[in-house]
Amino acid sequence: MILTLLYAELRRDEAVRRYPYKDTSKPPKNTVGVGHNLDASPLPAGWTFPLSDAQITQLLVSDVTSTFAQLDARAKWWRTLSEVRQRVVANMAFNLGIEKFLGFAKAIAAMKDGGWDTAADEMQNSLWFKQVGDRAVRLCQAMRSDVMPVAAGVA
């Protein structure tokens, strides 16, 4: 997988924040950087705000590595997908967390069988789709077409 593309997509989709904020989840989580959940994983000792670009990148790399490890442990099939569809799965799992991602049982069954339209339809038929807006539209389009739509901020 081309990690630089995934990192850029996550920076666009999650936004980059140097200071903590409450995200839109219920209950809200304290978040910083590129969607880094401070409640689940506090910052290393001695880090202060505002976070530097290097610190934000370090958190992002660590969080993506963790997401991949969770997918590899709980959804081994994801590595059999095309690079674009792997980025869709990784983006969703990063955003939702592994447990909520695995709750997309019908979409996952369709992905395993190569039913891209069905997988995208199941993704669309979710509260997640309604909550995340353009991100979900792009990810559904990519699942259907195996081409990630280009959006501002991602080369």
The predicted model scores a pTM of 0.94
Burial of 65 (0-12, 13-18, 19+ CB in 10 A): exposed
At 30-83, the pLDDT tens digits run 999 999 999 999 999 999 999 999 999 999 999 999 999 999 999 999 999 999
H-helix or E-strand spanning residue 31: strand 30-33
Q: For 3-145, CATH number?
A: 1.10.530.40
Q: Where are the domains of the chain?
A: 3-145
